[in-house]
Amino acid sequence: MEPLCIDICYKSLLQNVVEKLNIDKYSYGYEVDGPKLYKAYVQIDLGIDSELKTEVFWGKLSNNKNESEQDAAKETVDYLQRHYKFEVCDVNFSNYQYYKWCYHRMNEGYAATNCESPNSNHDSRQIKEGRSSSKEIFNSTVDESKQHDGVVDVTRNTPILEGQFLVT
């Protein structure tokens, strides 16, 4: 079984999770607490035990609205993970541009171990934002003996278990 979705941030992961779980309604909002201090939240409507239940998950107070939204999305994903019993595997890609480039190169038939840091001539805007299945992204990876259903965590060379989401 492949991971249900592979994402680079919690906001994107949340969007894919609610899609996969057929959750119809969720929204972001925020409160302003002082000059340039934001506290974001995610409000989500869940059908639990045949009743519609609205849950609100708060992000941390931050002077960066996106950072607070990411934190609120993480809290929401954590709750949904416990409620719907799916796994989240944090891959911790340390250099976002490097791995976006690897993803792009792998779609052209290169293995993850052949990825090199992008040079100054590489235009990251050419990289497709769409996501492929995990087998397309991680095919021909590192060590065949460490593969599990064709999926390998390229950052640590350890298997990613079935049914996990990959997030950073």
Which of 85, 113, 139 finishes a domain?
85
pLDDT (0 to 100) of residue 106: 45
- Is 1 within a domain? no
The verdict on 102 and 78 lying in the same domain is no
What is the per-residue DSSP string for the chain? ---S-B-SSHHHHHHHHHHHTT--EEEEEEEE-STT-EEEEEEEEEEETTEEEEEEEE---BS-HHHHHHHHHHHHHHHHHHHHT-EEEE---S-HHHHHHHHHHHHTT--GGG-----TT--GGGS------HHHHHTT-S-GGG-BTTBEETTTTEEPPTTEEEE-
pLDDT (0 to 100) of residue 22: 84
d(CA 11, CA 16): 9
Which residue bears the tokens 């293995």?
111
- Is 2 within a domain? no
CATH number for the domain that contains residue 24: 3.30.160.20
The verdict on 98 and 146 lying in the same domain is yes
Condensed to tens digits (0 to 9), the pLDDT of residues 131-164 reads 333 333 333 333 334 333 334 334 433 444 433 4
The verdict on 102 and 121 lying in the same domain is yes
Domain region containing 125: 93-167
DSSP 62: B
Q: In what order do the strands lie in the sheet with 51-58?
A: 25-32, 38-48, 51-58
Which of 23, 53, 85 finishes a domain?
85
Condensed to tens digits (0 to 9), the pLDDT of residues 29-41 reads 999 888 889 999 9
What share of the chain in percent tops pLDDT 90? 17
Q: Per-residue pLDDT averaged across 10-39, rounded?
A: 86
User: Where do the DSSP E strands lie in 110-151?
Assistant: none
The verdict on 97 and 65 lying in the same domain is no
The verdict on 16 and 39 lying in the same domain is yes
The verdict on 23 and 65 lying in the same domain is yes
d(CA 63, CA 39): 9
- Is 132 within a domain? yes
Q: Which two three-digit tokens encode residue 147?
A: 């593969």
pLDDT (0 to 100) of residue 75: 93
The verdict on 37 and 69 lying in the same domain is yes
d(CA 110, CA 112): 7
Strands 164-167 and 87-90: parallel
Domain count, the chain: 2
User: What pTM was computed for the model?
Assistant: 0.52
Q: Which two three-digit tokens encode residue 43?
A: 């409000």
The verdict on 156 and 115 lying in the same domain is yes
The verdict on 59 and 118 lying in the same domain is no
Which of 60, 85, 110 finishes a domain?
85
Condensed to tens digits (0 to 9), the pLDDT of residues 61-118 reads 999 988 999 999 999 988 988 888 877 765 554 444 444 444 444 444 433 333 344 4
Q: pLDDT band for position 47 (50/70/90)?
A: confident
Strands 25-32 and 152-153: unpaired
